[in-house]
Amino acid sequence: MGRSWWANSKRVFLALLIIFSLIHLGTMLLRLKILDRTKYTPVAKTRPPIKVDLRKLPPSSQSPFKKQIVESEDGGEKKKVKGAYLSDKDRAFDKETIAKRVDPFNKGAKAGGGEKGDADKSKKGSEGKKKNIASGKGRPNKGMKLSDLGAHVGQPDPFMEAAKEYSSKKKGNGGDPNLPGRSVSSTNDHVEEVPLGDMTHLNTVEYKYYGFYHRIKQRLEQFWGRSIQEKAQQLAKAGRTVASDDELVTSLQITMNHLGEVLEISITGASGIKELDDAAIESFNQAGPFPNPPKGLLQDGKVTIEWGFVVNT
């Protein structure tokens, strides 16, 4: 029995010795691991400094000027003002007005200008100042009042009278037989929120592509008047009428090549009357080509512009 107890005690002692040895070894390994990490942890490298260049931000796409091309009589100050229209030069007036007479752009005769001066201005206005309308975001437009062409409901043949009236206006007397050869201030720019007046006084800023758009307008007017007469006559013969005091707008997108030849015309906004939309398209096709488009407007050898035709009934 004594030998058996001694054998058991010996086994217990050996077991405890092994356990304590393992615990001690584990503790030593843990300490060595911690010391090893502390000793060999690499020092974080300092990042190279970031170079910052102070540069001007590109100009905002929001232009301080209205994206509408117009014509205006001279006067006022030669300076740029916020909200000005695009034109051939800088102008600034104390009060903006738009001529009441709807007709190709013409400067009014100054008081005391005399008969000769009026006649000279009339000739100049009829030969070189044919103006259509330009309106919208970078979109030059053309407009003409249908009522000014004599398209009145109830007339048996309104466009024969309209042709005479339109021809009279092109001679520079504004269609008024009592003013032979007199230069009357007029415009057919479709300008909104500008009060009517005797003269066209609009704040404008010089636009480098004005000349190209102006040439297009001059060509278009030669065909737009005739085309709108023909289409309106078709409406009259068919017994169809157009509501009065209405504004009908046909918006087109025109693509030209580098020679100014019309490649494609798309309707981006219909007037609601097919004949008027057709008149707008026909006018552009007949008026083209429009030579020498500015290189600055070319993209991939093509020029794309937007144009609106406005008819007020």
Residue 25 lies in a domain: no
Higher per-residue confidence, 296 vs 235: 296
The total number of structural domains that make up the chain? 1
Torsion of CA 79, 81, 83, 87, to 10 degrees: 10
The pairing of beta strand 262-269 with beta strand 204-206: unpaired
pLDDT score recorded for residue 5: 54
Instruction: Decide if pLDDT at 272 tops 50.
Output: yes
pLDDT score recorded for residue 209: 92
Average pLDDT, the chain: 69
Helices 274-287 and 210-237 meet at what angle, rounded to 10?
140
Instruction: Decide if pLDDT at 117 tops 50.
Output: no
Instruction: Decide if pLDDT at 131 tops 50.
Output: no
Average pLDDT over residues 194-204: 91
Residue 203 lies in a domain: yes
Burial class (CB in 10 A: 0-12, 13-18, 19+), 167: exposed
Average pLDDT over residues 228-245: 81
Between the alpha carbon of residue 106 and those of residues 72, 102, 132, 279, the distances in Å are 9, 10, 12, 25
* Most trustworthy range by pLDDT among 34-43, 174-183, 218-227, 251-260: 251-260
Residue 95 lies in a domain: yes
Instruction: Decide if pLDDT at 44 tops 70.
Output: no
Residue 243 lies in a domain: yes
CA 35 to chain centre: 72
How far is 71 from 143, CA to CA, in rounded Å?
13
Residue 77 lies in a domain: no
* Most trustworthy range by pLDDT among 35-39, 188-192, 294-298: 294-298
Instruction: Decide if pLDDT at 121 tops 50.
Output: no
Domain containing residue 157 = 85-312
pLDDT tens, 49-96?
544 444 444 454 566 777 788 888 988 788 888 888 899 899 999 999
Residue 103 lies in a domain: yes
pLDDT score recorded for residue 266: 92
Instruction: Decide if pLDDT at 287 tops 70.
Output: yes
pLDDT tens, 143-159?
433 333 223 333 444 43
How far is 292 from 301, CA to CA, in rounded Å?
12
Confidence of residue 233 (pLDDT cuts 50, 70, 90): confident
Residue 204 lies in a domain: yes
Residue 118 lies in a domain: yes
